[in-house]
Chains A and B, each alone.
Chain A
C-alpha cells in the first residue's frame, strides 16, 4: 500500500517569512497527492492536489506544491505566511481509488 512521511512534526516561523512543509511518499503504483489543512476541532480543508499534468500545483491561500517523481516528494510552500496560517497540515497520498493515506501531520505555528 502507499504511504506518506511528513518530515517535520512542528515548524515554527515568524510572520511574513517563507515556509516549506516537507512530504515524501512511497507507492508501487501511480498516485494522487494532496495537502489538507485542519484547524482545531474542525474537519479537513483541501489546500491543493496533484492528479496529473503540471508538477507545480497552486492552491488556495497562496500555497503551492511541487510534485517531484524522482525524489518521491510533494513539498508544500508559501512565500509569506500569516498568523492565520497557524494550523495542522496533512499530506496525503491515494491510488486511483482515492483510498487516502495521511502523513502524521505538521504543526505550523506562525509567530508575530
Chain B
C-alpha cells in the first residue's frame, strides 16, 4: 500500500529556534497534503491543507506566520515551526491524499521545545 513518511520522528529544539518537519509520499503523488496537531491524550486537530504549488489554507486559529507550510512537489510538504516555544510541543502528523480518494497518514513527528 501507499506509504507516507515523516522526518524526523522526534525532534528536540530550544525555545526561539525554528524546526522543519518533512512529509513525503514515497510511492505515489499526493494532490493534497494535510497537517494535523495532536496534544497528549487529545484528538487530532487539522492545522492546514496544502496543494502542490499553491499557498496552504490554514484552519481558523492557526497562525500562518508561525507554522509555515511549503508544498514544493507532489511528493513533499514541509512544516516549519518558527520561533518555537514550549507550548508548541506536540505530535505533528501529516497525511497525503491520492487522486483516487485515498488518504494515508504519516507516522508523526514528536516536537519537544525546551
Q: Which of B66-114 contact A (CB under 8 A)?
A: 93, 95, 97, 101, 103, 105-108, 110
Give the distance in Å from the alpha carbon of A102 to the alpha carbon of B36 in the complex. 10
Say whether B101 contacts A98, CB under 8 Å: yes
Give the distance in Å from the alpha carbon of A33 to the alpha carbon of B111 in the complex. 29
Main secondary structure of the interface of B (DSSP, over half): strand
A43 at interface by CB-CB < 8 Å: yes
With A43-B105, A43-B108 given, is the CB distance from A98 to B46 under 8 Å?
no
Say whether B42 contacts A98, CB under 8 Å: no
Of B95, B108, B110, the contact of A100 (CB 8 Å cutoff): B95
Distance to closest chain A CB from B41 (angstroms): 8
Residues of A within 8 A of B (CB-CB), count: 20
B43 at interface by CB-CB < 8 Å: yes
A17 at interface by CB-CB < 8 Å: no
B26 at interface by CB-CB < 8 Å: no
14 pairs of residues in contact across A and B, judged by CB atoms under 8 Å: A42-B107, A43-B93, A43-B108, A44-B93, A90-B44, A97-B32, A97-B49, A98-B97, A99-B34, A100-B34, A100-B36, A100-B103, A101-B46, A105-B42
